[in-house]
Structure 1
Amino acid sequence: MDKATVGGLVAGIALLLLSIMIAPGSSFAAFIDYPSLAVVVGGAIAATFIAFPIGTVLQVHKVILKSFFPKQQSLTPVIHQLVEFAELARREGILALEGRTDDIEDPFILLGIQMAVDGTDTELMEGILRAEMDAIVNRHKTGKTLMDTVGRYAPAFGMIGTLMGLIIMLGNMDDPEAIGPGMAVALITTLYGAIVSNLFFLPFADKLAFYSKREMEVREVIVRGLVAIQDGDNPRVLEQKLMTMLPPSERAKADQNAEAAAA
């Protein structure tokens, strides 16, 4: 589970509740209005159904869950695995990698190893792998765009709800005592729209974009490693080349672990 996503949501909601508690003269009941919530949430969902095919919208819960349970890969183990495959291929030949396919959990690496074993041309193999990367990016973009769309429509329907509330309030101007409460209810829809957008869906979209970028960095390392294995590069040279993709802190840590293992 992504602790940052959970922590951010909990902190954001807690700060809002705390602000209501400590504000003079405020109460939780004043911030609860079900018709306003229906306008914002229902309107944003309806607009999203108009903007996307129904099958895509029905996958929204899976997209949201990816913000909490991302499938992350660390670069260091991937590099070590690729270097191990390069050593095996250099020592026993590229066909020896066929016996290791059952140990490969990443389907992307497995695809590349199978093509290498089958003798696929290096340029063709790289092209297929990069086409697979493009397909992954497009799927990620669809999920992010879905979150962005809900986050964009929620404030708009908040304003629509506010205008509806103002129209209702102005239609009852003969009762001065109802003007204040009516104005408060009208503004609540704008508040709901801002919260739904800026505390939930837009941050979800940014988190998905971050993890998509991280995944593509890992995929890029894998492609470079597999191409080098197919070309018969020296494993040590391959390791040094792939290590340049690591951040300096992780690179230093990997070097320390390698030295400790050698000792």
Structure 2
Amino acid sequence: MKLNFQNKKVKLAIIILLIMLLVHSIVGSISLKAFLNLTALEIIVAGIFLSVIISFSFDTLIGTIKMIKLSFFHKIDYTTMIYKVHELSIKVKREGVLSIQSDIEEEEHTFLRDAMILLNDYKKPEAMRDILEKDIASRRSNLYRAHNVLKMIAHISPSFGLIGTLLGLVGLLSNIHQTDLIMNNMASALVSTLYGSLIANFIAVPLMGRLKEYIDENILQYSIITEGILLISQNDTARNVFDKMNVMLKEDARLVYPRKKIGERNRESDEV
């Protein structure tokens, strides 16, 4: 955990340094007054928001903001989930599947709770697998809504930048004899393209990559839970349940089997 925290601090320091270099390069190329063009900003922001609001529901847009926040501050905890399913397998072995009813009521993770309900209802493993895979597909579709919003922003931002450029050129040609207006329209035209590219390549695309990683982590957690619950339904040993979930993690993230449960280990030896 300490190493992970240190890695985050190093990553944050690198990001801040690169942002400073980017800002320095922009300010060194053009003046701050020329960069902050209100007309160009209005075209880009209004165009993006109008397109997004027309294309997506407000629930999807609010969900996108929440998912972006979660991708930064919510860490998918595979360790707790694997140990929890492992403990569940031990309890089912000892006391039977009906003993997990109280655990179902207390479980906060929605996917695990739904899987436990299926297990408690004595459904066949084949039927459970089909239901859980359909549940994962549905959850994947919902998670990708936020990704699709950012994908659209990345796609349309350069286009609205080009529209701002064209409008600036039209204004320039319409006022060809007025020097002040020519300079203002030229600045607006060029900065619009810059705004569009910055929003697409330095905001939308990086956030898309972050959300994609967060979605993949969620899907992996659902798959781990599915594997564990199906093995429990097949009356597999607790050790096999743990190992088959554990190997789904990256090699450097795999867990150590909790060998302190001597009684459990002895029972599994008798089963083999």
* TM-score band, normalised by shorter chain: 0.7 to 0.9
1:118-172 superposed Cα distances (whole Å, 9 cap, x missing partner): 2122222222222211111111121111111112111100000001101111222
CA distance in 2, matches of 1:37, 1:195: 12
Change in Cα spacing, 1:55 to 1:77, as seen in structure 2 (3 Å) is closer
TM-aligned CA deviation for residue 46 of structure 1: 1.2
1:92-141 superposed Cα distances (whole Å, 9 cap, x missing partner): 22222223334422121111112212212222222222221111111112
Could you tell me which of 5, 10, 20 is aligned with 1:14? 20
Root mean square deviation, CA, Å: 2.8
Could you tell me which of 40, 47, 72 is aligned with 2:44? 40
Partner of 2:144: 141
Q: Does 1:198 align with 2:204?
A: no
Q: Secondary structure at the match of 1:73?
A: coil
For the Cα contact (< 8 Å) 2:39–2:188, is it kept in 1? Answer: no
Q: Does 1:163 align with 2:166?
A: yes
Q: Does 1:172 align with 2:178?
A: no
> So what's the TM-score if we normalise by structure 2?
0.82
Change in Cα spacing, 1:95 to 1:137, as seen in structure 2 (3 Å) is same
Instruction: Give unpaired runs (5+ residues) of structure 2.
Output: 1-7, 263-272
Q: Which AA in structure 2 matches 1:46?
A: L
Q: Which has the higher mean CA deviation after the structures are superposed, 169-178 or 83-92?
A: 169-178
Question: Matched residue pairs, number?
Answer: 255
Q: Which AA in structure 2 matches 1:131?
A: K
Instruction: Give unpaired runs (5+ residues) of structure 1.
Output: none
Change in Cα spacing, 1:86 to 1:57, as seen in structure 2 (3 Å) is closer
Partner of 1:249: 252
The within-5 A match list for 1:80-99 is 80-99=83-102
For the Cα contact (< 8 Å) 2:64–2:149, is it kept in 1? Answer: yes
Which structure has more relative contact order (CA 8 Å, sep 6+)? It is: 1
Q: Secondary structure at the match of 2:76?
A: coil
1:179-233 superposed Cα distances (whole Å, 9 cap, x missing partner): 4554232100011111111121222222111111111011001001001101100
Change in Cα spacing, 1:20 to 1:77, as seen in structure 2 (3 Å) is same
Q: Does 1:111 align with 2:109?
A: no
For the Cα contact (< 8 Å) 1:66–1:208, is it kept in 2? Answer: no
